[in-house]
Structure 1
Amino acid sequence: MAGDDGRGSDAGDDEPGSDTAGGSPAVTRVEVPVDTRASGGTTNAYLLDGLLVDPAARTDALDEAVAERGAADAVAPAVEAIAVTHTHPDHVGAVAEYAAATGATVVAREGRVDRFAAATGVDPDETVAPGETVADTGVRVVDTPGHAPDHVAFAAGEPGAGSEPPAGGSGRSALCCGDLAVAEGSVAVAAPEGDLAAYLASLERVRDAGYDRLLPGHGPAIDDPAATCDRLIEHRRARERDVVAAIDAGAADLDAVVDGAYEKDLSGVRDLALATVAAHVEKLVGEGRVDEAWRARLADAGFD
């Protein structure tokens, strides 16, 4: 869990800044204060083996974690590469600064170089595709679109290798999953970029892969990936049922669908609820489950 300086470990013993080796991924988590709508107001930056993931802002705590990895007596690998799970502003703010400070290889998802450069201010040194490893780190790229079209996750260790993780370690495998999953609450999948069909498929693939631990972009580590993925899938399916019920009851525009699909007070988050409902309606139209006329209604609401 997080310490007073914003640092934490998802590597095994939960002491700030600790790492593991000997077969388990070396993981350090640093909570970085950023301008984000995620609860807690922070984004997790990770040092996953030799990869720095999602340096959202430059902080003393993250500087210290990076420096410890570069020390002569360090057990865990030094930072060899920098990458992001996706290019939303609350995940990319210090890519340029840490690239300059460490000299690490900056890596972007293949086919998304322009988007990466625009978001980070850095032209990547290399690109990677899902299934490939990041530079020389041994960390693998996993395709997880849905929350964002360029979303990926980063895997260390082999999932599903056995029934019990090593004693005192973080497990055989960890997936740094960005905004695919959270330990509590739900993840925003919002139009126009959010793709609910892709998001649900990503959750199903990650659930079925058998990772020992998920390392999310916000909040604490997830120690039961399958149960969490199932919970998030059911949350989206339940919201979809509410959206369909609102349309069947006569809702004729997105505002009316939101009113019918949500019972809670939406003060301060109604814009996000509208974008979420729009993503649900896009999925339903694509599946032929609601009338094609909803495409025009989405466009009228600014979601096209």
Structure 2
Amino acid sequence: MDRISLGNDEFEGRNNAYVLADDAEDELALVDTGVALESVRRDLRDGLAERGYEFADVDDIVLTHFHVDHAGLAGEIQAESGATVYVHEADAPLVAQDPDAVAAVEDRRRELLEQWGVPEEARTELLEFLESADIEGPPADPTPIQDGDRLDVGGRTLETVHAPGHAAGLCCFETSVASETQREDGEAVDERGDEAFVGDAVLPVYTPNVGGADVRVERPLEKYVAALERLADRDYDRVWPGHRDPIEEPTERIETILEHHRERTEAILEILNEHGPADAWTVSAKLFGDLEGIHIIHGPGEAYAHLDHLRHDGVVEYENGTYRLQKETIVLEDVF
């Protein structure tokens, strides 16, 4: 798979933009574009130039989700090339930077930060970070897609697999890659191995944030676990994440991420047992310590995702931002 590695100092390590090219049909597509910073723009332009292309040659852009480190340059490339920009219908308004959609996210973020018990000083620091980052880029005019849609781009057919949790519209794109193997008699045969571009649904090093990464998602942990289980059932041979290197044993990696969330759920139950009733910010502090930058929302958001999951399973009760244990004896398998 042809990928261009792009700079990223804030989110999950270096981003990937994947290049899908069919020179015979003169088709060029990108899966994700990176963040709208000059250094990243240069990385992408240089990477395309090494392959004999420029922004104006891009016919299609397939976005795994709306986050700026994946979609930031989409509008700029579209303006230069006229490319079609595909993104899930849930994320399309944010990629288009629709004022009502953006305002709704900002309102929801403020509401949750208060609900989670984030101190005013930390809220101010977060909002100043978000306002100063200046990494969004110009809006794109996206073409909305849904689960199951098939996209013929760059000489490939990509099947859309909606995998919400980290983001409401996060999608993976399943494809098949022809490869040659040798029979025992030496005759070459073609085999097809199923692979997928997975964005931030499955990452090789970090576990994708749930709860804070997209405040629009209701019951984020439940949705993310269901998405991971769906991807595990597809049992890909290899997946291509939005950050860092390809994952050669994706089903194993998915199980590791699921186990991580089981362990985090246990840790939160222990915190509530030892500390007593607490809000999401307090639980986050016990889990992660001091937070800064984007992590001011990621930390309590992750705590909230787990606490919310436990609340819906009747393990904790919630009142005025505070969670307390409702059951003395808890079997983790019953709730996760």
Q: What's the TM-score bracket when you normalise by the shorter of the two chains?
A: 0.7 to 0.9
- Show the counterpart of 1:28: 2
Say whether 1:148 aligns with 2:173.
Answer: no
Q: 2:210 aligns with which of 189, 192, 198?
A: 189
Say whether 1:37 aligns with 2:11.
Answer: yes
Percentage of identical aligned residues: 29
- Show the counterpart of 1:206: 231
Q: Is the 8 A contact 1:70 1:79 kept in 2?
A: no
Q: 1:63 aligns with which of 41, 45, 50?
A: 45
Structure with greater helix percent: 2
- The residue matched to 2:198 in structure 1 has which SS? strand
Q: How many residues were matched structurally?
A: 255
Deviation at 1:203, TM superposition (A): 1.0
Say whether 1:46 aligns with 2:24.
Answer: no
Normalising by structure 2, report the TM-score: 0.67
Q: Is the 8 A contact 1:44 1:216 kept in 2?
A: yes
Quote the Cα distance in structure 1 between the aligned partners of 2:76 and 2:30.
12
Deviation at 1:70, TM superposition (A): 6.4
Judged with a 3 Å threshold, the aligned counterparts in structure 2 of structure 1 residues 274 and 291 are, in CA distance, closer, same or farther, namely same
Quote the Cα distance in structure 2 between the aligned partners of 1:145 and 1:189.
10
- The residue matched to 1:246 in structure 2 has which SS? helix
Judged with a 3 Å threshold, the aligned counterparts in structure 2 of structure 1 residues 193 and 205 are, in CA distance, closer, same or farther, namely same
Q: Is the 8 A contact 2:41 2:73 kept in 1?
A: no
Q: Is the 8 A contact 2:74 2:140 kept in 1?
A: yes
- Show the counterpart of 1:229: 254
CA offset digits 1:149-208 (Å, max 9, x no partner): 1111111118xx9xxx64499962221111111112322113334511111111111111
- Show the counterpart of 1:12: none
Quick one: higher RCO (CA 8 Å, sep 6+), 1 or 2?
2
Q: 1:84 aligns with which of 63, 75, 87?
A: 63
- Show the counterpart of 1:172: 193
CA offset digits 1:197-245 (Å, max 9, x no partner): 1111111111110111111111111000011000000001110111122
Judged with a 3 Å threshold, the aligned counterparts in structure 2 of structure 1 residues 97 and 133 are, in CA distance, closer, same or farther, namely same
Quote the Cα distance in structure 1 between the aligned partners of 2:90 and 2:307.
27
Structure with greater strand percent: 2
Q: 2:267 aligns with which of 242, 246, 255?
A: 242
Deviation at 1:35, TM superposition (A): 5.1
Matched AA of 1:46: Y
Matched AA of 1:257: V
Quote the Cα distance in structure 2 between the aligned partners of 1:101 and 1:233.
41
Quote the Cα distance in structure 2 between the aligned partners of 1:81 and 1:182.
24
Task: Report matched runs for 1:283-294 at 5 Å.
Answer: 283-293=309-319
Across the aligned residues of Structure 1 and Structure 2, the Cα RMSD in angstroms comes to 3.0
Q: Is the 8 A contact 2:64 2:87 kept in 1?
A: no
Long gaps (5+) in structure 2:
22-27, 98-135, 183-189, 324-336
Q: Is the 8 A contact 1:81 1:135 kept in 2?
A: no
Q: Is the 8 A contact 1:145 1:202 kept in 2?
A: yes
Q: Is the 8 A contact 1:139 1:154 kept in 2?
A: yes
- Show the counterpart of 1:75: none
- The residue matched to 2:86 in structure 1 has which SS? strand
Say whether 1:96 aligns with 2:75.
Answer: yes
Q: Is the 8 A contact 1:81 1:134 kept in 2?
A: no
Q: 1:127 aligns with which of 144, 153, 157?
A: 144
Quote the Cα distance in structure 2 between the aligned partners of 1:36 and 1:206.
27
Normalising by structure 1, report the TM-score: 0.73
Judged with a 3 Å threshold, the aligned counterparts in structure 2 of structure 1 residues 170 and 147 are, in CA distance, closer, same or farther, namely farther
Judged with a 3 Å threshold, the aligned counterparts in structure 2 of structure 1 residues 85 and 30 are, in CA distance, closer, same or farther, namely same
